[in-house]
Structure 1
């Protein structure tokens, strides 16, 4: 079996997320997140990765930023009509191809609604099936609208409201909890002040934030509620 690149599950810079955290950040039902973690990541994907995707159990179960991103990608693919069976097959093939247990957080994953595709080294689109045939065709990129990649083409940040808003999920800051822009200010801190009755202008002045950034926080938590 092709060896995978060494990657720690939970540690400094990986982010730490409970299943409710993932549900809240991605705006998905907790029950669905719990089912996906068990049925796909733990039972099907782990057989290829030769290691698990979570640490602990029950309410103490936690996972990392890259698994959160894979949840997001999985959801996007399902929304585009790709069957769970095809997604599992693609995950297994891409994991071996990219030598990573997190292939759905690698590069700009594409889908045409039927097959799962990824960017090939030659700039073509490689079809993720047993033949790995090259396909040149137009595909949509919902995954790329809310993520930013590092130099290794692995997702490094997630923007739950989109890149034109200031809420950022960055595993290297505040253990991966939502922060505001380039700061280390927890979005939850700002939202709690707003819920406590502080005005937007007062909050923006106290934390040297723009009114738009404070409104992004409020909209983020109202969306997730």
Structure 2
């Protein structure tokens, strides 16, 4: 895949993805490469968006969102085996190669549900939840808070992610800076603004160098500090 092909796709190593998601890089690599435990083969959960032809694992933005949801399900008590099964079932239902990254999923910690909007013969719509394992409809609403920091298109596909919530105005957008965290207003990567604040003698100086608001530099520095603290934890 050429660099021009990565525009709108994003590019992350497992280490970069792990830093953003708080998921160990080794786990991400296992999920996307497959692995062997005690002689038993576990296939990759899905095929990554990005291949640079060097036999290393890379992620695109959709992969990033997919890992985020898969990890949330596992943390909620759903086994990795059931997550894999849910992915395969959901591919059939909604016709998406990376269904976990759409806005249709919910979990109650035991089962995984697919959010369906049905339209009756009178044109009225209603929302239902399809239990992917029981293959029956459930009517209990289940809210997954991780969806609140993602902006979705009308087709349910993730467009951008606000990794620290919307307060810091830091966005991960595959159409800008190859999906690296950026200041949403200026599109300057947060790592660059935070580094400039240290090297240029403070927030005001960095803001002048990059022609951005001081608040942008301040929020970028806060975000990068938060990322560093995550790595140290």
TM-score range, shorter chain: 0.7 to 0.9
Tell me whether 1:71 sits opposite 2:67 in the alignment.
yes
Task: Name the TM-score, length of structure 1 as normaliser.
Answer: 0.83
What is residue 14 of structure 2 aligned with on the other side?
19
2:189 is aligned, of 186, 194, 197, to 186
Q: Structure 2: how far apart are the matches of 1:218 and 1:109? A: 33
Q: Structure 2: how far apart are the matches of 1:108 and 1:213? A: 33
Q: Pairwise CA RMSD of aligned residues?
A: 2.3
- Greater shift, 102-111 or 194-203, is seen at 194-203
**Structure 1, unpaired ranges of 5+:** 1-9
Larger radius of gyration: 2
Task: Name the TM-score, length of structure 2 as normaliser.
Answer: 0.80
Question: Comparing both structures, which one devotes a greater share of its residues to strand?
Answer: 2
Q: What is the CA-CA distance between 1:105 and the residue it aligns to?
A: 1.0
Q: What is the CA-CA distance between 1:17 and the residue it aligns to?
A: 1.5
Total equivalences in the alignment: 210
Q: Structure 2: how far apart are the matches of 1:158 and 1:79? A: 20
What is residue 153 of structure 2 aligned with on the other side?
150
- Greater shift, 158-167 or 169-178, is seen at 158-167
Q: Structure 1: how far apart are the matches of 2:170 and 2:55? A: 26
Tell me whether 1:199 sits opposite 2:202 in the alignment.
yes
What is residue 127 of structure 1 aligned with on the other side?
131
Q: What is the CA-CA distance between 1:126 and the residue it aligns to?
A: 1.3
What is residue 93 of structure 1 aligned with on the other side?
89
- Greater shift, 24-33 or 186-195, is seen at 24-33
1:53-64 equivalences in 2 (<5 Å): 53-56=49-52, 60-64=56-60
What is residue 6 of structure 1 aligned with on the other side?
none
Q: Structure 1: how far apart are the matches of 2:92 and 2:197? A: 47
Q: Structure 2: how far apart are the matches of 1:44 and 1:16? A: 19
- Greater shift, 30-39 or 104-113, is seen at 30-39
2:28 is aligned, of 15, 27, 33, to 33
